[in-house]
Each structure stands twice: as C-alpha cells, then as structure tokens.
Structure 1
Amino acid sequence: MKSYEQYKPSGVAWLGDVPEHWEVKRLKYLLAEKLKYGANESAELDDKDLPRYIRITDIREDGKLKEETFKSLEYEKAEEYLLDNFDILLARSGATVGKSYLYKKSLVGVACYAGYLIRARFKQEISNPEFINYVFQSNFYSAWVKAVNIQATIQNVSAEKYNEFTLALPPLEEQIAIATYLDERTAYLDRLIAKQQALSEKLSEKRTALITEAVCGRVKISPDLCLQKKGIVLSGNQITEQKSIKKSLLFSKEGLGEIGFKDSGIQWLGKIPEHWEVKRLKFVGELQGGIGFPHDYQNIQDLEFGFYKVGDLGLSENNRDMPKAQHTVSIEIADKLGAKIIPENSILYAKVGAALLLNRRRITGEKCCIDNNMTAFIPDVKQILPIWAFYTLSIIDFKILVNPGAIPSLSEGYQKNLSIPMPNLEEQTAIAAFLDKETAKIDCLQAKIAESIARLKEYRSALITQVVTGKIKVQGV
C-alpha cells in the first residue's frame, strides 16, 4: 500500500511521524462536552421497554454488546446518563481498562451507561467518532493505556488522563474515508475470526460431550489402553501393578457390551453402568476454601508455596494443569494470613463471581495456597484418582447451579453435596487414560485454531494502527 508524500514529527513517542497535513490533538479538544462518568446504580431489571443499562462487562472483545447480559434501568435513573448516537464509552478501571464501545442507537435502542464507563461525546464537525473508535483499537493506544497504568496498583484511566490522550487527526473527509476502508477490511477479518471461533466452539462441545459420555460409562474403550510395563501411572499417582484389566469391568456404549445400565438419579449424569456407584464429594474427599490475599504480599517470587488467584485458572496451557504460580508465600506468611496449604493433585475451581461461570477445573502440580474466590477439592486417593475427580467435575455446569443474586456463587454446603459417578480405581484409570489420549487430539486442533485467531487479530490491530497513524494511505484518500 502507498504512504503519504510528506511526514512530520508528531512529538509523541508512540505516534512517530505523521502525514504533514494531519494535526496532532489531545482528546479533550475534540469533545463537544466534558467526559462524563456513568450511573452508580445496581443492574437488577431486564425490561426491554426500558433503556438498556450498558456496563463494562457487557462489551465484547469485538466491540459489540453481549445479548445474554442485557440489563435495563428506570427512565428516572437513566435520564442523566442517556447516550446520544455515536457516543463512545471508555472503560476506566479493571482488567479491561481502555476498552471502547461506539454506541449506535439504530442497533441498540435507547441506552444509558454504568459507573465504570466514561462517555465521550465528540464535535462531529471536526472529528468522526467511527474514526476515533478505530484509534481506540490501535496498538499505539494500547501502549498509551499500559504506560498510564504502569505504576498503578489497580488499573485505572480517569477522565483527566483520557483528556490528555494524544492522537493524529486527518481532515474530516479523510477520517470518514479511513473509517469506511477499515469497516470493510475489519469486517472481512472479523468474519474469518468468527469462523475459526465457531470451529473452536464446536470442538469444545465435542470435548465436553466426549468427557460426559466417558465418565458416565457410555463409550467403549480398549481394555489395555492404559497399561504400562511397570504399572499404571496417572497424574503422579501410582496404581497397583496390573497385567490386564478385566473386560467385564470395562464400561461400553449401551448395547455394545456385556454390562447393564441404571439410572444414576442425577440429571446431568443420566444412565451409568449398573455396578458403579454415585457418591457425594464429601464422601470421597475434602473441600478447602481459600483466603483473602492482601496486595502487600503479592508479586513475590521464590518462596515456599505458590499462591494462586482465581484469574490464574485461565492461564493453564493445557486446560488441565495449573501454571507456575506468579505469587509465592512462606509458611510464616501463610500462617499469618490463615491460608491452608493445599496438597498437590487437588482440583481447583472458582466458587464466586464471573469466573465461576467459566467452568474451569485445574489440577495442582505442587503444594500451594488459594484465594477466597476458589475452592480446592482434595481427593481421597484410596477411592478416587485426582484425574478422575478432574474429569467428573468438568462435566458439571456450575452456571445452572449458582445461587441467585447479583454475584453468582456456590456455597460450600452445596459443593459438598455434588454427586459424581464412581467406578473402581481400575476403571477410573482406564477411562482417564482414554480421555487423556482423545482430549489431547482435540486440544491440539484447538491450539492450532487459537494460533490462527491470534495471527488474524494481530494483523487486524496492525492494519488499524498503520492506517490511523498515517503510515499507509488508503485508496481514495
């Protein structure tokens, strides 16, 4: 693609040189009104006839709104915070700080916005909001957000800081042409990304269905699948040496094998082999909650025990094993905080908040502590293998079990009484080995898809950055 004929220094490190006829402006000089914080009201209503109440958690990564999180606000509470067409909302704190959303009334209807968002309303005679919103999707904007937050304990970009954000501004007609070009190019890239994401979701569904069928005894497997020369080893647990596994003990697809099936009495399990049991978690292990983790003790390395925060559940490279801990504590600090030491081969999961709805289960590889947003299930290895606990807990959808309220949660009492299918250790070993092999195939495919999506997103961001900073000139400008 072509570049502009002449450039000039912008005076801003992350902008570099810009086309000579472009201006370099602070955001505050493009605003029709002062930046405005949103309403501090709870999101309790979901009445489609009332203004939509847009919160920071409603904004998807692609800049659109989630339909499944729709909430509304009464007109008298919303009136002061109603949005005008082409207003832009900016996230001011938290993990998604800096994220933007361009409001279009024709797509959303009447809407207002919540307190963790800042409304920007632009002078449309000099600035095109669609162009500005692409600026907010650029790499140089992301670099600015990181620079603003580098010394902050809690990520935060205030209205005062947003006012000082500096961007390169072409003439209005050029802004419109650039926005139109990027609409076409990003729409094409977004379709490619969506196709890859849909494929990944189908694989996830297949993975979940496979695990469900297997741990409920409804898939046939090879009787020698998990045998090794010197015993059966699974996730660090040595099982007594076996030369064979009795065929009569293996589960099979109903109608394909010799065994019969019975109703488990549990909705999400369905039928299980008639010789299996169904047991509550409290009878096959122990549940251990976490403790608050003060910021003063975080980000310390090389002490005795890793200390996991609920967000670490999402950092697993294989969706099974916990990653290396980013925070560590000594036994003295653990005692001071009242933190229990969780043994290795325990199963961790979120018990409160949005993380609970993600249905992540992870296995610990070493002794550790956990924060108060998580629970550890410590299996009684005489009855249940850690890997079996991992797979059986993975099929329980916490989203349909959570306590009602503004913040989703599962009480410890409820967790203890969750029921899981229980074959003997021999069968647990065989089934888990089968699932390790089959899910690894799916995980490999998903990893390739994730790489493809990452490359497309990287190209998308790079293209936007090059165009909105004038490094390349779009056709027709």
Structure 2
Amino acid sequence: YRSYPINSIDSKQIHNGDILLEKSGGGELVPVARVVLWDRAKEYSPCLCANFIQVLRTKRNEVIPMYLMHLLTILHTMDIVRLHIKQTTGIQNLSLNTYLSQSLPLPPLEEQRAIAEYLDRETVRIDRIVELLTKQRERYAQLKRSLISEVVTHGLPHHNYTMKEANLPWLDTIPEHWEISRAKDMFKRMSRSVKETDEIITCFRDGQVTLRKLRRKDGFTESFKEIGYQGIRKGDLVIHQMDAFAGAIGISDSDGKGTPVYICLQPINHLYYNTYYAYLLREMASSQFIFSLRKGIRERSCDFRYDTFATLYLPVPPLEEQQEIVAYLDERCKRLDRLVEAIDRKIELLGSLKKSLIEEVVTGQRRITN
C-alpha cells in the first residue's frame, strides 16, 4: 500500500479522459512510455496513480483524449519514444521534458473526433477477434494438458484396462498390470566432467532442454567462472531444481554443460524410458504436486532437490507400453502444437494490422470512412 497526504488527493486523483503515461519501467523488448486512456472513474473513485505513472489531461476544447492516446501510441509502436529514454541498471526512465516538448500533428477538433471514433470502432473489432482466438488457443492448450494427464497416468485410450489403487498422494488409480517403484531404484544421477567443447545447455519451463544459443541468448547472465558446471549428454532426463514446479523438466537434445542446479538422470536399467518419465514428471508439475513439496522461500519457486525426487514413488508401465505412450503423445501433441502455432501467427498478424491501422489513420495516410 502507498499512503498520500489528504491535501494531495485532489491533485493526484485521475478522471475519465485522463491519459496514463508510463514514465518508468519498460523492458528489453518493449520500451517505456506505454499509454492508456482512463475511463473507469465510476467503478474506481477516487483513484490515484502510482509514482511511475504520469497523468496527462488534455484541453478538451483543443484536443480529444482518445485521439491523443492513439497519437502517443504510435510514438511507442514506431520506437520514436527511444529518443526520450534514459536507462540505468536496466530500468528505463522517460525524459518528460523532451517527450512533452515534441511537436505533434493536430487536426481540427471534428477531425480528431472522427479519427478517434473510427479507430475505436475498428480496433475493437480486431480486439474481439484476438479475444476469440486467445480463448481457442487456451482450449487447445487445456486439451493437450488433459490428454497428457490421462494417458501418462492411466494408459492409452480404448484399452479398457482394469484399474487398481495407486496409493500415491498425487495419483488415484493405475492400470492393474503397472508396477510402482521408488525413483532412486529407477534412476541414477549423473556426475560428469565438462569437455572443452561443451556449450551451455538450458532447461526451459516448456520442457525443452537444448543449447542456449539455439533458442535465445538475451536475458541470461554469463558466468566467467563456471564453478560446478556439469556435463550433460543427449538423452539425459534433466530436472531444473528451482523451476521443476513450473515444468522445467525434459530430455536434452544435445551434448553440453549445465549448472549444478540441474539434476541429470539416466535409467538404472532397460525397464525405464526417459521420455515417458519426462512426460510423467511434467504432469506432476502441472498438477501442482511438485510445488506442494517446496522447501524454498523464494516466491514462486520450489527447491526440488534430488533427495526429494529420489524418495518419490512412480508408476512403471511395461517398457513397450511406455514407448507406445510416448509415440502416441508425441504425435497428438504435435498436432495440437501446430494448431496453437497457427493461432499465434493469426494473433501476431492482427497485432501488426492494428498497429498499421492506427499509424496510417493518425498520420493521414489512410482516409477514414463511416
């Protein structure tokens, strides 16, 4: 909570039609200086803004707020705002003096109103389509989670297995012919030295374990003293101790090296298929079971150590069935992933369309129609 002196509330209170300008924040991909138009005074009144927000209030007889909001939006989307940013220690600060000293095009009031109403109408249409696509995307993602959850714990569909009690805190029943075994009796923790040619491998929260350079380089801190780094080999089952609860569990697709926070596993014998157990452990993360074991104090983290993993009891289908489950899930998950990727492309295209529409209308490159 933030407290304000009583005598300052009137001057800091925001009203309908005010433009809220982000003057501190931003990030690597999105610069500071995002803007929104405040129109919710009836729901939240009185309402004050945080100190990293600048309130802009137009002279209503000269400037339509919605028009100015769209105009300031294109300054942001066209990266013009970067001319007015001061950055220290990763935090972007907007220079209000130079930002507010810019000369901006100002058509007659009626033309501003027409532009604002046209853009409001057309952007709402785009936003509605994006909302529908987003809901469809969520349904596919939920279908994928449900599919993995059911198959990895109860076997392939249409087999009509007889079920038995699993007696596990996170799992009710399993097929009668499956066994239960303790993780430490199934997997051995690998401890390998690092080769000179090894490159850094990262275990991501979506389950991909790959060379960092193949996915992204930004957003990571490079370590000059690689103390404790371990060798990772293609096919290892890798568990990120701190992020396993969020799904950072998967099979390495490359040889390389990783930090000591990774648990690298190989089966003790031929009865256990790493890829099946990657699916299973990610399901245990998705169901929040791994998070329930947390011992860490960092918010939204869970120190899922090897000693904790080793004590867990896991279902053991016959090896051939493990492989069949993996093949079945791989094929169907790829289908669902392709559908999600297609939706993501449509959403990205609509975002570009919306951006271009605002830029062209506000700058006079496109004539507006009723």
Same-fold call, TM cutoff 0.5: yes
Q: Which residue of 1 aligns with 2:53?
A: 118
Match of 1:389 in 2: 277
Aligned counterparts, 1:45-56, within 5 A: none
Tell me, yes or no, if the aligned pair for 2:245 and 2:286 is still in contact at 8 Å. no
Residue 177 of structure 2, aligned match among 271, 275, 286: 275
User: Residue type matched to 2:20 in 1?
Assistant: I
Tell me, yes or no, if the aligned pair for 1:261 and 1:272 is still in contact at 8 Å.
yes
Could you say which residue in structure 1 is the equivalent of 2:65?
Answer: 129
Give the Å deviation of 1:93: 2.9
Q: Does 1:407 align with 2:299?
A: yes
- The alignment partner of 1:271 has SS state of strand
**CA distance in 2: counterparts of 1:449 and 1:179, whole angstroms:** 29
Amino acid at match of 2:254: E
In the other structure, the counterpart of 2:166 is: 264
Aligned AA (1:168): P
CA deviations 1:216-248 (Å, max 9, x no partner) are 124337xxxxxxxxxxxxxxxxxxxxxxxxxxx
Aligned-residue identity in percent: 22
Deviations 1:23-76 (A, max 9, x none): xxxxxxxxxxxxxxxxxx6xxxxxxxxxxxxxxxxxxxxxxxxxxxxxxx6677
Once residues 181 and 198 of structure 2 are traced to their aligned partners in structure 1, the CA distance between those partners, rounded to angstroms, is 35
Asked if 1:364 corresponds to 2:252, the answer is: yes
TM-superposed CA distance for 1:313, in Å, is: 4.8
Tell me the secondary structure at the aligned position of residue 84 of structure 1: coil
- Distance, in Å, in 2 between the alignment partners of 1:270 and 1:195 is 35
SS of equivalent residue, structure 1 residue 305 = coil
Amino acid across the alignment from 1:182:
L
Partners of 2:189 and 2:264 within 8 A in 1: yes
Q: What residue is the counterpart of 1:344 in the other structure?
A: 234
Q: TM-score normalised to the size of structure 1? A: 0.59
Kindly state the Cα deviation for residue 153 of structure 1 after the two structures are TM-superposed: 6.9
SS, match of residue 119 in structure 1: strand
CA displacement at 1:462 relative to structure 2: 1.1
Answering whether residue 30 of structure 2 is matched by residue 93 of structure 1, we say no
Distance 1:118 1:341 in 2: 47
Q: What secondary structure does 1:138 align onto?
A: helix
Once the two structures are overlaid, the 10-residue window that deviates more, 428-437 or 95-104, is: 95-104
The CA deviation at 1:364 is 2.8
Equivalent position of 1:298 in the other structure: none
Q: 1:460 and 2:324 equivalent?
A: no
Alignment of 1:210-225 (within 5 A): 210-220=147-157
Task: Return the structure number with greater helix share.
Answer: 2
Change in 2 beyond 3 A, CA 1:97/1:385:
farther
Show the counterpart of 2:341.
447
* CA offsets 1:269-307 (integer angstroms, 9 cap, x no match): 33112333445656544789xxxxxxxxxxxxx974135
2:19–2:37 Cα contact (<8 Å) kept? yes
- After TM superposition, the structure 1 = structure 2 runs for residues 26-37 of structure 1, keeping only pairs within 5 Å, are none
Structure 2 CA distance, aligned partners of 1:420 and 1:271? Answer: 12
Contact 1:97–1:155, Cα closer than 8 Å, also in 2: no
Give the direction of change, closer, same or farther, for the CA distance of 1:364–1:218 in structure 2 (3 Å limit).
closer
1:112-191 matched pairs, under 5 angstroms: 112-114=48-50, 117-125=52-60, 126-138=62-74, 141-145=77-81, 154=90, 156-160=92-96, 162-163=99-100, 167-191=104-128
Residue 368 of structure 2: aligned partner: 474
Confirm or deny that 1:202 pairs with 2:139: yes
* CA shift in 2, pair 1:83/1:124, >3 Å: same
Q: Which moved more, 1:388-397 or 1:208-217?
A: 388-397
Q: Secondary structure at the match of 1:458?
A: helix
Structure 1 CA distance, aligned partners of 2:287 and 2:95?
Answer: 38
Question: Aligned partner of 1:430: which letter?
Answer: E
State the SS of the aligned residue for 1:212.
helix
Deviation of the 1:188 alpha carbon: 0.9
Q: Does 1:376 align with 2:262?
A: yes
CA–CA distance in 1 between the matches of 2:304 and 2:257? 18
One-letter identity of the residue aligned with 2:156 = V
The Cα offsets for residues 392-416 of structure 1, whole Å up to 9 and x where unpaired, read as 1232327673669782111234963
| Aligned amino acid, residue 204 of structure 1 | A
> How many angstroms does 1:168 deviate by?
3.4
User: Within 2, Cα distance between the matches of 1:399 and 1:81?
Assistant: 42
Cα distance change of structure 1 residues 367 and 127 upon mapping to structure 2, 3 Å threshold: farther
* 1:341-399 CA-partner distances (Å, limit 9, x unpaired): 444334455836xx966x46554322445579xx5342323364332132112323276
Residues 131 and 179, structure 1, Cα contact 8 Å, conserved in 2: yes
Aligned twin of 2:193: none
- Please tell me the root mean square deviation across aligned C-alpha atoms, in Å: 4.2
2:81 and 2:27 map into 1 onto residues whose CA distance is 12
8 Å Cα contact 2:31-2:82 kept in structure 1: no
Instruction: Give aligned pairs, total.
Output: 342
- Give the Cα separation in 1 of the matches to 2:80 and 2:259: 31
Distance between the aligned counterparts of 1:162 and 1:399, measured in 2? 46
Helix, strand or coil: the match of 1:410?
Answer: coil
> SS state of the match for residue 167, structure 2?
coil
AA aligned opposite 1:344: K
Match of 1:84 in 2: 15
> What secondary structure does 1:105 align onto?
coil
Instruction: Specify the alignment match of 2:200 in structure 1.
Output: 306
The one-letter code matched in structure 2 to 1:109 is Y
Superposed displacement of residue 208, structure 1: 0.8
Map Cα deviations across residues 83-103 of structure 1 (whole Å, 9 max, x no partner): 433231426233544343333
